[in-house]
Structure 1
Amino acid sequence: MNVGIFVVDGVGELGLGALLGVFSTANALRGELDNPPAAWNVRTVSLGESVRSGSGNLVQTTPLSEISTPFDAVAVAAVNVLDPDPLVELVSAPDNAWLVDHIRSARARGVHLAAACTGTFFLAEAGALEGMPATTSWWLGSSFRSRYPGVDLDERSIVCHGDGVTTAGASLSHMDMALSLVYRTSPELAEYARRYLAVEDRTSQAPYAIPEVVARGNPLVVGYERWVREHISEHFLISTAARELGVTERSLQRATRAALGMSPKDFADDIRLDRAGRLLRTAGLTVEAVAREVGYVNASALRALARRRRGLSLAEIRAHRLPW
């Protein structure tokens, strides 16, 4: 399997290292299998002989002009840009048009495409995600949805599979993406590599999302998120929030749907659940007390919300503490 990992100036070292580490680990573990798949031949590719990482370090690369063997898969490593506006400027910059053009030609040839985190913007810019399910970093959903409305975006997912395309979420999701490519060839080897790398079984970015960050980019959604936090211990109506924000309920519905892909109620539920999770892990309160703090009259309603929005029990949320 010939894999090209494409990079540009500003590449994120964490994501690139995760991709290289997964394929290197998979190659090292092939001997553990009775019938191992072929080795992964991985090349880090750019337009020239090197790029500068987002931290300013030199990353040696193979020039695209020197690639003679076709790639079976092309992965785009993320760039170290967190804010959406400079990210869009970088993706659409003339200096990076070569990568967008190569993605288009690779897609036309039937090459499997993959990208994680901010790298997903390059696939979308090339039109490779049009009409397909995809994910990106949880904090970039609003900007992605606005620029690429033809993509069926679900930024809550860790990995999404389309027709010949794999996308993944925030930085360490590069590992999930690479493991999914290994899995396509050998599920057994992917499981071996996952366990050696101690990669969690995770399917959603939702537990990592920070509501006040998710809301950025739309003034009305920012105002709504702040209003919900200020009234979080109350049982309120969405119509009340809209009225106090000076808009109609329909306008608020349109704003959250366009920016976040969800209703105002679902976003309020996520804000409540985020606050509840912090209290469960840090405040030493009972479940009943936490439920009252986030606007529920009893713990059963909060338990149902956790199951519906996270697929977890409150005990599991409380137990998910940092290991250090």
Structure 2
Amino acid sequence: MDVLSDIVAVTRTGRPRSAHVRWHAPWGQEFASVPGSAGFQVILQGSCWLLPLNGEPVQLSAGDVVFLPHGSGHTLADSPASLVTAPACGPDDREPYDAYAADSVDRSGDGGPVTVVLCGAYQLDPSRTHPLLLTLPDLIHLPAHSGRHPELRSAVQLLAAELENPRLGTDAIVPALLDTLLLYILRIWFTEQPARGETTGWAGALNDPPVTAALHAIHRDPAAPWTVAKLAAEAGLSRAPFARRFALLIGQPPLGYLTWWRMATAARLLRTSDAPLRSISAQVGYASEFAFANAFKRTHGTAPGAYRRNS
């Protein structure tokens, strides 16, 4: 898979949650901070205000998409002055947005203007949170603009239709559409960042062809015997300039990121497969099961076998 798809696949855990909610003004709904999650709000009809815990209120209109990659607490309301109900989810809930276990919910008010919101959350594994996600701001707002992001709008419309009118296959379609929605949000945000040379971090890395080429090589074949020189060749640069460029944008040296990705991949394999440790060791580039176990314990604080049992 490409880098962005890989990152989502490795980081996300459990089943994403979503709901189609209709509010009648006046209304206000708090969403508590949920560490280890990423939430989204999509305004399907009407308008409302998003009130973050820190920062200025944001007015939202139909078609707007808001992504909260760190599970930050916030409130949605028809007006900043409206009374707010108890949180829809909290740190002790088994799954974010459990208060909206139903796919479609109607919150009746006093018969005022209607706002329809598609809300949901992804569970993330804090021990495997990719550094790319850590660099994202607390709130990403993608305003609706005529003709912009048609693929994102299509995913939203399909997801809303499935939640509002569940049919045969909905249980399989909704998680796939949620993954699609998440990838579109991330793709749009990263591609709309300033051009290469004007920004650093992962936003700069994913818009930098040499560094992206090296990242694709690592993700395509993490078991390969990569060296800085071999990765530099993939990037089309000499060794020293490549190493400096990679570390500036990614925040760690090429081989440091390679080791981190191998251990994240190993953690996913341990959680999702019954493959023996020797097979997983080979898949992430370790000829010795003993060397793999030591590297895994340094990264995750526990041996591979114990990690699998606890997962």
Q: Which category describes the TM-score, using the shorter chain as reference length?
A: 0.3 to 0.5
Greater fraction strand? 2
**TM, length-normalised to structure 1:** 0.39
Greater fraction helix? 1
**TM, length-normalised to structure 2:** 0.41
Higher relative contact order (CA 8 A, sep 6+): 2
